[in-house]
Homo-oligomer: A and B are copies of this chain.
Amino acid sequence: MTLTDIAPAGTAENVQSDDADVGAPTTIYVCITCRRPDDPEDAPRPGAALAMLTASAAQGRGVKVRRVRCLANCKRGCSAAVRRDGAWTYVFGDLDPASAGTALVEGALLFAGATDGLMPWRGRPEALKRGLIARVPPIDFVEEAE
């Protein structure tokens, strides 16, 4: 691979494989145990559907998707978290299992291209604005004065 093969950060049009370089590697963790309060415990969980659709939306776009049992955001599922090493971590909730997969991948790509370690607000999919639950600074974060 040469430098000219690398797609500009945040755009995925030219990306052909899961290892595509779209900026810093990001990972989406989708909670597969999330369900709505009225859903039966033993039925297929909306969280599992969201995980499947997110993995499908991420195909060939340079974003990893991992399934996880419980992100402890049970009151506001479906839930997912987006991580990038050395950058902030984001937790999202109130996600619609049918549509949020695409939003999560778009958000992860936007995040991958950020130069300040923050997921940009501008251009962030609506579901990741409305559904922001929390964000956590990177481990080497220097504290902010009041």
Interface residues of A, Cβ cutoff 8 Å to B: 27, 29, 32, 48, 66-73, 79, 81, 83, 85, 89, 91, 93, 132-137, 139, 141-146
Contacts and interface: CB of A to CB of B under 8 A. Distances in A.
A85 B89 CA distance: 13
- Tell me how many chains of this kind the complex includes: 2
16 contacts: A66-B137, A66-B141, A66-B142, A67-B144, A67-B146, A68-B137, A68-B143, A71-B136, A72-B132, A72-B133, A79-B134, A83-B136, A83-B139, A133-B133, A133-B134, A134-B134
Nearest to A44: B146
Contacts of A139: 27, 83, 85
Contacts of A32: 144, 146
A99 B144 CA distance: 22
A134 B134 CA distance: 8
Contacts of A134: 71-73, 79, 81, 91, 93, 133-134
Contact of A136 (B85, B91, B146): B91
Nearest to A75: B133
